[in-house]
Amino acid sequence: MAVATPAPATVPVVGRSREVELLVAALEAGAHVVLEGPPGTGKTTLLRAVADEARLSFVFVEGNAELTPARLVGHFDPAQVLERGYTPDTFVDGSLAEALRSGALLYVEEINRIPEETLNVLITVMSEGELHVPRLGRIVAAEGFRLVAAMNPFDAVGTARISAAVYDRVCRIAMGYQSASDEAAVVALRGPDVDEQWRAKVVSLVRRTREHPDVHVGSSVRGAIDVVRITAALAARRCCGITDWRTGLDAALVSLSGRIRLTESGSRTAEDVVRELYRAEFGEEPAPDDDGDPGEQGGGAPGGA
Q: What is the CA radius of gyration of the chain?
A: 24
- Domain match, 192 and 132 both: no
pTM over 0.75: yes
DSSP state string for 40-74: TS-HHHHHHHHHHHTT-EEEEEE-STT--HHHHHE
- Domain match, 123 and 186 both: no
Distance CA 81, CA 83 (A): 5
Q: What is the pLDDT of residue 266?
A: 76
- Domain match, 259 and 148 both: no
- Domain match, 146 and 20 both: yes
Distance CA 105, CA 48 (A): 10
Instruction: Identify the burial level of 101 via C-beta atoms within 10 angstroms of its C-beta, where 0-12 means exposed, 13-18 middle and 19 or more buried.
Output: middle
Provide the domain limits for residue 156.
Answer: 5-174
Q: What is the CATH number of the domain that holds 221?
A: 1.10.8.80
Q: What is the pLDDT of residue 166?
A: 87
Q: What is the pLDDT of residue 158?
A: 46
Q: What is the CATH number of the domain that holds 56?
A: 3.40.50.300
pLDDT, one tens digit for every residue, the chain (305 residues): 344 444 444 457 788 889 999 999 999 999 999 999 988 888 988 888 888 888 888 899 999 989 999 999 999 999 999 999 899 999 999 999 999 999 999 999 999 889 999 999 999 999 999 999 999 999 999 999 999 999 887 664 444 567 788 889 999 999 999 999 999 999 999 999 999 999 999 999 999 999 999 998 899 999 999 999 999 999 999 999 999 999 999 999 999 999 999 988 878 999 999 999 999 999 999 987 654 444 444 444 444 44
Answer yes or no: is 209 within a domain: yes
- Boundary-marking domain end, from 115, 142, 174: 174
- Cβ-count burial 180-193 (b if 16+ within 10 Å, e if not): eebbbbbbbebbee
- Domain match, 14 and 104 both: yes
Q: How far is CA 74 from CA 71, 130, 143, 180, 293, in A?
A: 6, 14, 20, 44, 64
Q: What is the pLDDT of residue 15?
A: 82
Q: What is the pLDDT of residue 155?
A: 60
- Boundary-marking domain end, from 140, 174, 208: 174
Answer yes or no: is 302 within a domain: no
Q: What is the pLDDT of residue 29?
A: 94
Answer yes or no: is 79 within a domain: yes
- Domain match, 10 and 125 both: yes
Answer yes or no: is 186 within a domain: yes
**Could you tell me which of 252, 257, 261 has the C-alpha nearest to residue 225?**
252
Q: What is the pLDDT of residue 54?
A: 80
Q: How far is CA 208 from CA 27, 41, 268, in A?
A: 35, 16, 16
- Domain match, 204 and 152 both: no
Q: Contact at 8 Å (CB) between 101 and 139?
A: yes
Q: How far is CA 138 from CA 125, 130, 288, in A?
A: 11, 7, 73
Q: What is the pLDDT of residue 288?
A: 76
- Bridge-based pairing of strands 130-133 and 137-140 is antiparallel
Angle CA(237)–CA(285)–CA(192) in degrees, nearest 5?
A: 40
Answer yes or no: is 245 within a domain: yes
Instruction: Identify the burial level of 210 via C-beta atoms within 10 angstroms of its C-beta, where 0-12 means exposed, 13-18 middle and 19 or more buried.
Output: middle
- Domain match, 16 and 164 both: yes
Q: How many domains does the chain have?
A: 2
Which helix (H) or strand (E) segment is 228 a member of? helix 221-238
Answer yes or no: is 304 within a domain: no
Q: What is the pLDDT of residue 165?
A: 86
- Boundary-marking domain end, from 174, 190, 211: 174
- Domain match, 115 and 190 both: no
Q: What is the pLDDT of residue 33?
A: 95
DSSP state string for 144-186: T-EEEEEE-TT--TT--PPPHHHHTTSEEEE-----HHHHHHH
- Domain match, 155 and 10 both: yes
Distance CA 237, CA 231 (A): 10
- Domain match, 142 and 184 both: no
- Domain match, 220 and 157 both: no
Distance CA 286, CA 299 (A): 8
